[in-house]
Amino acid sequence: MDHFNYRDGRLHAEDVPLARIATEVGTPVYIYSAATLTRHFGLFRQALAWTDHLVCFAVKANSNLAVLKLLGDLGAGMDVVSGGEYARAKAAGVPGERIVFSGVGKTPAEMRQALEGGIRQFNVESEPELAVLSEIAAGMGLEAPIAIRVNPDVDAKTHEKIATGKSENKFGIPIARAREVYAQAAALPGIRVVGVDMHIGSQLTDLDPFRQAYTKMAGLVCTLRTEGHTITRLDMGGGLGIPYRRDNSAPPLPIEYGEVIRETVGDLGCEIEIEPGRNIVGNAGLLVSQVIYVKEGEGRDFLILDSAMNDLLRPAMYGAHHDIVPLAEPSVGAEFRPYDVVGPVCETGDTFQKGASLPALAAGDLIAFRSAGAYGAVMASEYNTRPLVPEVLVSGDQFAVIRARPTIDEILSRDTMPAWL
């Protein structure tokens, strides 16, 4: 459930008509609902209410400071994968003891930054990383709390570009080698083993891969304990999928996901961490765009928008579907027709949807891409020197720009001229 609904014939975010934001801020524009963010975060908390837990929002899904602050103020932890994301979490007021640091390529500088600023745990993904972290932490006279990310070799049954839990993926340490690496970690200076970490992929719409992976995790925890390791924390990763289409069967709910965690690892007496990103913010945001032209093609009409693949990359990158809806509610009995919905970028891949069924639209009309709150604004670029899309947060009847659209002058001023040119 989200807070984007038609009211009086106009699509609203909570109590604000989207067309009003489009007029005041311009298009394209990302718009998020604070009520939906709050609700989705609450559902994960509720799903883990049976145990000690921390819901660490995956910052990569949406790293706007206002979004992070809203979630942080509700008590969320943060899962970060770069020094930049770490800095964002801190700037949003989230204390270090609620920040976990994931990712296969942490640099020495990023490790130092997190150790200095405070960190709940590093999720270590390789032996070379473990060695570097040991050296840096010991050099600073500190102990780095770690979990080792274990790759359970489970098929997450999701898009191949976002599956991470198979042995051929670059992530984590193969489960067969976990004992050996835990023994190494225990012997290293500057390292304190606290837990086990897994993350098997994103947009999972079936609980079975989670169940398989977490069952393997439970077995591993028992083995590690018999070998003398103190395991008090389990990081279950993120990945629970969201409905991208209104009309198809919805993925499992957070409460059902929480049950799988309880059934598989619930009796180990560990604190549970989860790292949901998409599920919290995906359906809490949409991208509003304006029709520039309707162009008659051969056998099809093109709806040419003022947003493009650089603004919302997911359709071009993964063939992802985002429902497209007009901001003006179609009247009862309105005739729908197929459009190929495209952006102005000079690539055929700049196509959002082929044959989208929409009421007749004309230049100047406004539409919205639904489910665009996660991996939308964060994956945008300035390709074709198109300014990054601004972001707006709605709460009740108020809204605020939480990232302004850069001017072309600002964009140009970032380039510098060599003296000899």
Report residue 304: phi and psi, to 5°: -95, 120
Closest among 50, 98, 97, 42 to 269, alpha carbons compared: 50
Q: Which is nearer to ligand LLP, 231 or 274 (CB)?
A: 274
Of 56, 222, 270, 346, which one is the catalytic site residue? 346
Nearest distance, CB of residue 297 and ligand LLP, angstroms: 29
- Cβ 310 to ligand LLP, closest distance in Å? 14
270 counts as catalytic: no
Residue 277, annotated ligand binder?
Answer: yes
Shortest distance in whole angstroms from residue 410 CB to ligand LLP: 26
Place of tokens 């190494």: 184
Buried/exposed 192-228: b ≥16 CB within 10 Å, e otherwise:
ebbbbbbbbbbbbbebebbbbbbbbbbebbeebeeee
CA 124 to CA 130: how far, in whole Å? 6
Identity of the residue, 63 or 203, whose beta carbon is nearer to ligand LLP in the bound complex: 203
- Which residues lie near ligand LLP (CB under 6 A)? 58, 60-61, 79, 102, 162, 199, 202-203, 237-239, 275-279, 314, 318, 374-375
* Six-digit token string for 397: 């009847």
Question: Please, which residue, 152 or 326, has the CB nearer to ligand LLP?
Answer: 152
**Per-residue DSSP letters for 30-83?**
EEEEHHHHHHHHHHHHHHTTTS-EEEEEEGGG---HHHHHHHHHTT-EEEE-SH
390 is annotated as contributing to ligand binding: no
329 known ligand binder: no
Whether residue 275 is annotated as binding a ligand: the answer is yes
In the chain, % helix, strand, coil (3-state, to 5) comes to 35, 25, 40
Instruction: Compute the least distance from the CB of residue 276 to ligand LLP, in Å.
Output: 4
Task: Please give the Cα distance from 280 to 22 (Å, whole number).
Answer: 24
State yes or no: 276 annotated in a binding site. yes
Q: Of the two residues 25 and 61, which places its CB atom closer to ligand LLP in the complex?
A: 61
* Binding-site entries for pyridoxal 5'-phosphate: 239, 275-278, 375
Q: Which residues are catalytic?
A: 346
* Binding-site entries for substrate: 278, 314, 318, 347, 375
